[in-house]
A and B are shown apart, each in its own frame.
Chain A
Amino acid sequence: MKDQLEALRLQIVKEIGGAETLEILDELEIKYLGRKGELTSMLKGLANVSAEERPVLGALANDVKQAGLDLLEKRRKELADSRFAKLAETERADMTEPGNRPPEGHLHLVTQAIREITMIFERIGFYRTRYPEVDWDWYAFESLNMPPDHPARDDWETFFMDAVQSDDGKKGKMVLTPHTSNAQGHELERGEFPVRMLNIAKCYRRQSDATHAPMFHQFEGLYVDKGVNLTHLRGILDYFAEQFFGPGRVSRIRPHHFRFTEPSFEVDISCGVCGATGKVDGKKCKVCKQGWLEIGGAGMVHPNVLKASGVDPKKYSGLAFGWGIERVAMMKEGTQLDDIRILYQNDVRFLKQF
C-alpha cells in the first residue's frame, strides 16, 4: 500500500505539473483528491492494514494529499500568471473606439446661468422669489416712479394684454412685464425687512432682431433695510464680478438714468482679457471698451418707489441691481451668438452643445 501511495504521488506530481488548463486541473483534483477520488478509495484499504501500520500509512496518505493540494495551488497560480501575462495580446481592444455613453441630457444655457447667479447671491443671504410675469401696470410702471407718458409705457415698447383693467381700476392695464423690477412692489408690499430679494424671471419687449429676443430673462436684486447705502451696492457688485467672472475681476459704476432708482448707475466689469487697461501688447483690446464691459444697471431705490408700496423712505433705504441673464451668460462664455433668438428656437443641434 505504501508503494501504491508513492506511485500515486508520482502520478499526481506528473499530471498536475503538466496540466495546461484550469479545467484539466479541476478534473485532476476530482480524479485524485476528490470525495470519490483515487486517494479516497485507496484510503478505504486502510481498514485492512494492521494497527501498527495504520498511523504510518495514514500520515503518508495525508502527506500525499497535502502535496497534491499544494501542487494544485501552485500550478493554478502559474497558469493564472501566464494567462494574465498574455492578456495584452489575447484581449487587446481598440481603445480609440468610442465608449458607450449614457443618454446625455442638457440643461438650457439660460437655466445654467440662472443657477450660477442664484448660488452666488444665496451665499451672501439673498432668496429667490417668483412674481407674476403678466402683471398690472401698477407694478410694472406706476409704482416704479414712471410717469404716465413715459415711453416704456407706449404700446410701441411694451406688450399689453387684451384684458380690461383691474377690478378696482387702480392697478391699470395688464402688461407683459418688460423687466423684473415689477417684483419690487410685490416684495415691498409684504412689509418684511430686511428685503434681500433675487427675482429671476422672463421679460418681454417689443423688439426682435439678432441682438434682441422678444422674450428674455433678467434678474433683479433688491436689498432694503435701515442704513443701506452706496458702499453696499459697490460691495455687492464687486463681489458678483469676482464670483461670476473670476478672481481679479472688479466692477465700477457710472452715472446713468432709471426712473426707479436715484442715483442710477450703469455697471461695468473689468475686462478679463486686457485687465481693465484697454490695451493688449500695446494694441487696442478687441474685447472691451477701454478696459471695461457694460453689464447692466443698478441704483439706490427711489424714495417714491418705497412710498408707493407703503414703506417709509425716512426709515428704510434700499439698493437694486439687475441685468439680462442671456447677456451675462454670453459675456462669461465669451461666445457671441450670431442671433440671440436661437436660444428660443428649440433646435437640439444647438441645445446639445451646452
Chain B
Amino acid sequence: MNLLVSYDWLKEYAGLKQTPEEFGARISLSGPSVEKILPMHSELDGIYVGKIAKISNHPKADKLKLVDVNLGTVKPPLVKGDNHAKRDLGDLRIVCGGSNLYEGQIVAVAVPGAKVRWHGEGDLIELELTEIRGEKSEGMICAASEIGLGETFPVKDDHEILDLSKAIPEMNVKPGTTLAKALGLDSDVVMDIEVTANRPDCMGMVGIAREAAAILDVPLMYRQTSDVKRRTLKNDKLKIVIDAKDACSRYIGTRMEGVKVGPSPWWLKRRLMSAGIRPINNLVDITNYVMYETGQPMHVFDADKLQGDEIHVRYAKKGEKILALDGKEYELPDSVLVIADADKPVAVAGVMGGEETGSTDETVNIVLEAAVFDPVVVRKGSRKLLLQSDSQLRFEKGLSQVGPESAMARAIELVKELAGGEVVGAPVDVQTKKYKPEVFSITTDEVNALIGVEISKKEMVDVLKRLGFKVKDSGKKLTAEVPWWRDHDIESGRDLVEEIARIYGYGRIPAIVPMDIAPRKSDAIIVWEDKIKDVLSGAGYTELYGYSFVSKDLLAKSGFDSKDLLHVQNPLTVELEVMRPSLVPQLLDAAANNQERADTLRLFECSNVYLRKTGKKGSWTDLPEESPQCVIGYIEHKNDSPWREVKGVVEYIFDTLDIKDVKWKRESKDDIWHPGRGVQAYKDDLLLATVGEISPKYTEAFKIESRVGAAQLELRNIIKFAKTHKSYSPPLPYPESKRDLAIVVPQDVEYRDIELEILRADEKIRLVEWFDTYQGKGVAEGKKSVAMHLTIGSNEKTLTSQEIDGVVNNAILACKEKFGAELR
C-alpha cells in the first residue's frame, strides 16, 4: 500500500535537514521505500498572484471584460514568447470571461509561456500573447481547474475564475508573488512511499516521521495531543454498545454540539491535497487529516440524524441495507460488521459511513468515532461488498487498540479550532479487552549470529530505543517492550533482529558467497526432461507452454470427460477450470490456431499432467498424481503420413538416451489415436511412448486441415532406462557390404516382424533399413512389396561375393518360411 507524503508536512514531525532525494535514498534502505518524488507545484510554473485594478467592458463582446491586473514589479522567468521578459510585469491587460470578477480581487494570473489546461480538460497548452475579438490579451486569469486545483477549490458555476480573496482569505502576499510560493507549495515535494502490510503504523505521517527519526537519528518533534478527559461517565446523550465483542476491541465516541460546517482553511486543504484527498468540508477534512497524520481512521456522524442515543457495533441483520457515502446502496450480508443506531446500520464498520447520517452544511451536532475493528472482519466485509476505502486499507492490516485515544484528542482539538463546538459530557470509551504491551527478549549473540557481524550491545539498545522500544538489558540478554504502534508487527524476539539490522544498515553487512559442492544431485526427471527438450529443439521442434488448467469444452473436444478430473474450485474463468490430464488438447489447439501461419508445424510441450488419485477412504483425498509428460506434434500441409516424422524423432530420442530393444505394439485403446495409425513403445512391459496420428474424429473437431502426427512420451518410465553413457560395439575390422532386398508379403505382415526375422536369419546381417513399401501395379491384390537395405559383414574375414549372396538367400528363405514371402 502506498502513502503520499508531503516533505514539508513531514518536517513538522521530525527534524529533517536532508534534501528530499537524500531522505528518500536513505529511508528506502532501512524502512519504507520511497518510490517516487514529485514536485508539488508542477502545474504552477509561470502563474502569479495578481490584483485586479480595473474592469472595463469589451467593446465587441458582452460576456468578456477587459481586466487590468496589477502584478507588482517582479520579473517573470524568461520563457518563450513572453515579451514581458525584459521588463517588470507591472500591469497586464487581460481579456477575461470570468463571471465572478470584481475590482480589488486577488486572482491567479498565467503569463505567456505558462502552461494551462483549458477549462480543466485535455492536455496542458502553452499560453501565448493573443488578441481576443480585436483586443490584445497579455495573459489569463485562471479558473482553479485550469491550474490543477479544481478539486481543492470546487466551483458552482463553470465560468468562475479562482477567487483567491475568498478561497484563501488568510493569504497575505504581494501581487507578483508566484502562486506556488503564495500557496506554500514552492519548496514542497510529494513522495510516493510504499508501506508493507505489517506496518500500518506507517500509513500516517507520524509513523513515517518515527521511522525517519530512528533511521536518520534526528529528533522526533511530534507530540501526541494530550488526552482529553475520557471516562466511562454517564453520558445521557451518547451510549456505546459493542455487541460484536470479537470484532471490535475499542470504540471511542464523542458528542460535540454547536459546530459550524464550512470550508477548511488553506493549510488544511493543502495538506489533504498533498495526500491526494479531496477536501469536502471542515468536519470531514478533519477526520481525513487526523487519519493521515496518525494512521487512525475516524468518522463523523451528524448526531441529529442518528435515531436514539445508542451507537451499536454489531453484525448486520438479514436484509439490512445501507446507502454509503459513495452514493451506492449495499445489501449487507450478516458477516459484515456495522455501526448502527437504534433503527439501522449507519456505517459499514471501518469501511465507509452512511450517506444519510453524514455531515452536511446544516450539521450542528456531531458524533466523532475513533475505533479499532478486527482486520479480518473488515477485509472480508470489504471484499464481499466490493467496497474499498482508505480507512478499510488501514484496518485490515491490524491497528493498535491504543491508537484511538490520541486520534480522538487531536480531532476534538481541531474541531474546536476550525468549526467551533463543545464536547458534551465526555468522550465515551468502550474496550472489550485490556491492552497490555508485548515484551520479547533476545541475546546479543543470537542477533550477531544471524546478521553475521559484531554489533555492540550499546548500539543494539540505542537502535531499539530510537524505534520506541523500552529496553532492559542484563548481560547478553535484551528485553524490549513493544511500542503500541507496532502491536501486530513485532511477534517474537526474532523480530528485534530485523529492527537492529535494518537501522544498522544492510549495506554495511559484507557479502560472502557460500560456495560448496552440491550435497546431492538434481532430480533426475528435471535433468532428462532437459535432455529431451534439447533433442527436440535441435530437431526443429518449437516448445509450447500451456496453462495447467483448461476448459471443459477443450477437453470434451478432445474426448475427455472432465467429470473425473481435478477442478479448480474458484476458477478465474471457465477457460481455466479443469486441471489438464493430458497435453494433447492444447497441442491440437495450438495446431489449429497456427496452421495458417506455417507450412510445417513441429511442436512439443513438456509438463506435468494431473490425474486424480483415490485416497484411503475411497474419495479424492490424496494429492493428484503429477505425471511428467511430453507431447510432440508434426503437421505438414499435404503430408499423408506425418506419423513417420514423429516416430522418427521418438526413435531418435530413444537412441540419444541409449534405450534399446524397445517393443512396438498396437495396444492403445485410446480413442484420440487414429485406429489404424497408432503404436506404443514398451520396454520391460513399461509404456514409454504412444506414437501415431490423431484420429480424424478429433482433428476435424478442431478444424485442423492436415493430418496430425503425434507422440506422447511417458517421461517417468523413460528415465528408468535412460543412460548418459552409451554402450558401444567396435566397428567390424572387415569391410561391410550393402545389398538391397525387396520381398512381396501379404499386406498385413508388419515391417518390424520382417526386420526381426531377417536379423535372426543370419548373424552376418548387421542392419536392416526399410526404404519403401509399395502396393499397386505389379503387386498382387492383398500383397505389398517391402524394400530394404541389408548391411552384411563378418568380424572374422572379408566376405566373398558368393558368401554375401548366401547370406541374402538365408534372409529370403526365412521370410518365405515365416511370411510366405516371394522375391520381388
A164: chain B residues at CB < 8 Å are 619-621
The residue on B at minimum CB distance from A302 is B494
A142: chain B residues at CB < 8 Å are none
Does A244 lie at the interface of the complex (its beta carbon under 8 Å from any beta carbon of B)?
A: no
Known: A103-B541, A134-B624. 14 other contacts (CB 8 A): A103-B539, A151-B379, A162-B568, A194-B519, A230-B451, A231-B511, A238-B511, A254-B30, A255-B498, A257-B196, A290-B24, A303-B492, A344-B546, A346-B589
- Chain A, residues 311-354, CB within 8 Å of chain B (1/0): the string is 00000010000000000000000000000000110111101100
Q: In the complex the two chains form, is B537's CB within 8 Å of A174's CB?
A: no
**A99 → B minimal CB distance (Å):** 15
Stretch of A22-30, A50-58, A75-83, A261-269 lying at the B interface: A261-269
The 10 closest A-B pairs by CB, nearest first: A103-B540, A229-B452, A263-B498, A105-B537, A231-B452, A128-B522, A234-B511, A257-B196, A235-B513, A125-B516
B594: chain A residues at CB < 8 Å are 346-348
For the complex, what is the distance from the CA of A159 to the CA of B573, rounded to whole Å?
Answer: 12
**A329 → B minimal CB distance (Å):** 12
Q: In the complex the two chains form, is B523's CB within 8 Å of A202's CB?
A: no
What is the predominant secondary structure among interface residues of chain A facing chain B?
Answer: mixed
Q: In the complex the two chains form, is B544's CB within 8 Å of A108's CB?
A: yes
Q: In the complex the two chains form, is B623's CB within 8 Å of A130's CB?
A: no
Contact of A154 with B548 at beta-carbon distance under 8 Å, contacts A167-B621, A234-B512, A252-B506 already known: no
Contact of A235 with B502 at beta-carbon distance under 8 Å, contacts A167-B622, A255-B30, A351-B543 already known: no
Q: In the complex the two chains form, is B545's CB within 8 Å of A343's CB?
A: yes
The residue on A at minimum CB distance from B520 is A127
Q: Can you report 17 A-B residue pairs in the complex whose CB atoms are below 8 A from each other?
A: A106-B537, A122-B518, A126-B518, A127-B518, A127-B522, A128-B523, A151-B379, A161-B567, A162-B569, A166-B615, A196-B519, A231-B453, A236-B513, A238-B513, A255-B506, A257-B197, A348-B542
- Chain B, residues 529-559, CB within 8 Å of chain A (1/0): the string is 0100100111111111111110000000000
Does A214 lie at the interface of the complex (its beta carbon under 8 Å from any beta carbon of B)?
A: yes
Does B319 lie at the interface of the complex (its beta carbon under 8 Å from any beta carbon of A)?
A: no
Q: In the complex the two chains form, is B497's CB within 8 Å of A262's CB?
A: yes
For the complex, what is the distance from the CA of A105 to the CA of B542, rounded to whole Å?
Answer: 5
Contact of A206 with B572 at beta-carbon distance under 8 Å, contacts A105-B602, A234-B509, A348-B597 already known: yes
Cross-interface CB contact of B540 among A105, A254, A257, cutoff 8 Å: A105
Cross-interface CB contact of A228 among B24, B513, B514, B570, cutoff 8 Å: B514
A236: chain B residues at CB < 8 Å are 513-514
Q: In the complex the two chains form, is B621's CB within 8 Å of A166's CB?
A: yes
Q: In the complex the two chains form, is B509's CB within 8 Å of A346's CB?
A: no
Cross-interface CB contact of B452 among A104, A106, A230, cutoff 8 Å: A230
Cross-interface CB contact of A262 among B452, B498, B538, B549, cutoff 8 Å: B498
Q: In the complex the two chains form, is B512's CB within 8 Å of A231's CB?
A: yes
Q: In the complex the two chains form, is A132's CB within 8 Å of B545's CB?
A: no
Q: In the complex the two chains form, is B579's CB within 8 Å of A254's CB?
A: no
The residue on B at minimum CB distance from A206 is B572
Does B78 lie at the interface of the complex (its beta carbon under 8 Å from any beta carbon of A)?
A: no
Contact of A107 with B533 at beta-carbon distance under 8 Å, contacts A231-B453, A235-B511 already known: yes
- Chain B, residues 40-84, CB within 8 Å of chain A (1/0): the string is 000000000000000000000000000000000000000000000
- Of residues 166 through 221 on chain A, the ones whose CB sits less than 8 Å from some CB of chain B are 166-167, 174, 176, 192, 194, 196, 202, 204, 206, 208, 214-215
Does B823 lie at the interface of the complex (its beta carbon under 8 Å from any beta carbon of A)?
A: no
Q: How many chain A residues touch B (Cβ–Cβ < 8 Å)?
A: 87
**A205 → B minimal CB distance (Å):** 9
Contact of A149 with B29 at beta-carbon distance under 8 Å, contacts A235-B514, A255-B502 already known: no
- Of residues 104 through 118 on chain A, the ones whose CB sits less than 8 Å from some CB of chain B are 104-108, 110-111, 115, 118
Does B437 lie at the interface of the complex (its beta carbon under 8 Å from any beta carbon of A)?
A: no
Contact of A346 with B501 at beta-carbon distance under 8 Å, contacts A163-B566, A262-B495, A317-B449 already known: no
- Chain A, residues 281-305, CB within 8 Å of chain B (1/0): the string is 0000000011000000000101100
Q: In the complex the two chains form, is A346's CB within 8 Å of B586's CB?
A: yes
The residue on B at minimum CB distance from A225 is B514
Q: In the complex the two chains form, is B568's CB within 8 Å of A176's CB?
A: yes
Does A227 lie at the interface of the complex (its beta carbon under 8 Å from any beta carbon of B)?
A: yes
Interface of B with A (CB < 8 Å)?
A: 24-25, 28-31, 33, 35-36, 196-199, 375-376, 379-380, 383, 396, 449-453, 492, 494-495, 497-498, 501-502, 506-507, 509-523, 525-527, 530, 533, 536-549, 566-573, 576, 579, 586, 589-590, 593-594, 597-598, 600-603, 608, 610, 612, 615-617, 619-624, 626
Cross-interface CB contact of B510 among A154, A231, A253, cutoff 8 Å: A231
The residue on A at minimum CB distance from B606 is A111
Contact of A111 with B24 at beta-carbon distance under 8 Å, contacts A134-B610, A163-B621, A265-B506 already known: no
For the complex, what is the distance from the CA of A158 to the CA of B176, rounded to whole Å?
Answer: 59
Does A223 lie at the interface of the complex (its beta carbon under 8 Å from any beta carbon of B)?
A: yes
For the complex, what is the distance from the CA of A290 to the CA of B376, rounded to whole Å?
Answer: 36
Q: In the complex the two chains form, is B533's CB within 8 Å of A111's CB?
A: yes
B526: chain A residues at CB < 8 Å are 128, 130
Does A84 lie at the interface of the complex (its beta carbon under 8 Å from any beta carbon of B)?
A: no
For the complex, what is the distance from the CA of A104 to the CA of B601, rounded to whole Å?
Answer: 11
A234: chain B residues at CB < 8 Å are 506, 509-512
The residue on A at minimum CB distance from B621 is A167
Does A102 lie at the interface of the complex (its beta carbon under 8 Å from any beta carbon of B)?
A: yes
For the complex, what is the distance from the CA of A124 to the CA of B511, rounded to whole Å?
Answer: 14
Q: In the complex the two chains form, is A223's CB within 8 Å of B626's CB?
A: no
B511: chain A residues at CB < 8 Å are 231, 234-235, 237-238
Cross-interface CB contact of A133 among B35, B522, B608, cutoff 8 Å: B608
B521: chain A residues at CB < 8 Å are 127
Q: In the complex the two chains form, is B29's CB within 8 Å of A133's CB?
A: no
For the complex, what is the distance from the CA of A135 to the CA of B579, rounded to whole Å?
Answer: 13
For the complex, what is the distance from the CA of A105 to the CA of B632, rounded to whole Å?
Answer: 12
Q: In the complex the two chains form, is B608's CB within 8 Å of A229's CB?
A: no
Does A160 lie at the interface of the complex (its beta carbon under 8 Å from any beta carbon of B)?
A: yes
Does A86 lie at the interface of the complex (its beta carbon under 8 Å from any beta carbon of B)?
A: no
Does A21 lie at the interface of the complex (its beta carbon under 8 Å from any beta carbon of B)?
A: no
For the complex, what is the distance from the CA of A144 to the CA of B251, rounded to whole Å?
Answer: 34
Q: In the complex the two chains form, is B514's CB within 8 Å of A124's CB?
A: yes
Q: In the complex the two chains form, is B572's CB within 8 Å of A125's CB?
A: no
B518: chain A residues at CB < 8 Å are 122, 125-127, 196
The residue on A at minimum CB distance from B515 is A124
A136: chain B residues at CB < 8 Å are 623
Task: Name the residue among B383, B396, B610, B621 with the largest chain A CB count within 10 angstroms.
Answer: B621
For the complex, what is the distance from the CA of A230 to the CA of B379, rounded to whole Å?
Answer: 35
B451: chain A residues at CB < 8 Å are 229-231
For the complex, what is the distance from the CA of A125 to the CA of B663, rounded to whole Å?
Answer: 40
**A164 → B minimal CB distance (Å):** 6
A290: chain B residues at CB < 8 Å are 24-25
A41: chain B residues at CB < 8 Å are none
Does A232 lie at the interface of the complex (its beta carbon under 8 Å from any beta carbon of B)?
A: yes
A346: chain B residues at CB < 8 Å are 544-546, 586, 589-590, 593-594, 603
A252: chain B residues at CB < 8 Å are 29, 506-507
For the complex, what is the distance from the CA of A236 to the CA of B452, rounded to whole Å?
Answer: 14
B612: chain A residues at CB < 8 Å are 163
For the complex, what is the distance from the CA of A202 to the CA of B601, rounded to whole Å?
Answer: 26
Contact of A257 with B622 at beta-carbon distance under 8 Å, contacts A230-B451, A230-B509, A237-B511 already known: no
Cross-interface CB contact of B31 among A202, A255, A317, cutoff 8 Å: A255
For the complex, what is the distance from the CA of A264 to the CA of B497, rounded to whole Å?
Answer: 11
For the complex, what is the distance from the CA of A235 to the CA of B450, rounded to whole Å?
Answer: 14
B522: chain A residues at CB < 8 Å are 118, 122, 127-129
For the complex, what is the distance from the CA of A162 to the CA of B549, rounded to whole Å?
Answer: 13
B516: chain A residues at CB < 8 Å are 124-125, 194, 196
Does A74 lie at the interface of the complex (its beta carbon under 8 Å from any beta carbon of B)?
A: no
The residue on B at minimum CB distance from A135 is B623
Q: In the complex the two chains form, is B545's CB within 8 Å of A155's CB?
A: no
For the complex, what is the distance from the CA of A160 to the CA of B571, rounded to whole Å?
Answer: 8
Q: In the complex the two chains form, is B541's CB within 8 Å of A105's CB?
A: yes
Q: In the complex the two chains form, is A106's CB within 8 Å of B566's CB?
A: no
B537: chain A residues at CB < 8 Å are 105-107
B590: chain A residues at CB < 8 Å are 346, 348
The residue on A at minimum CB distance from B586 is A346
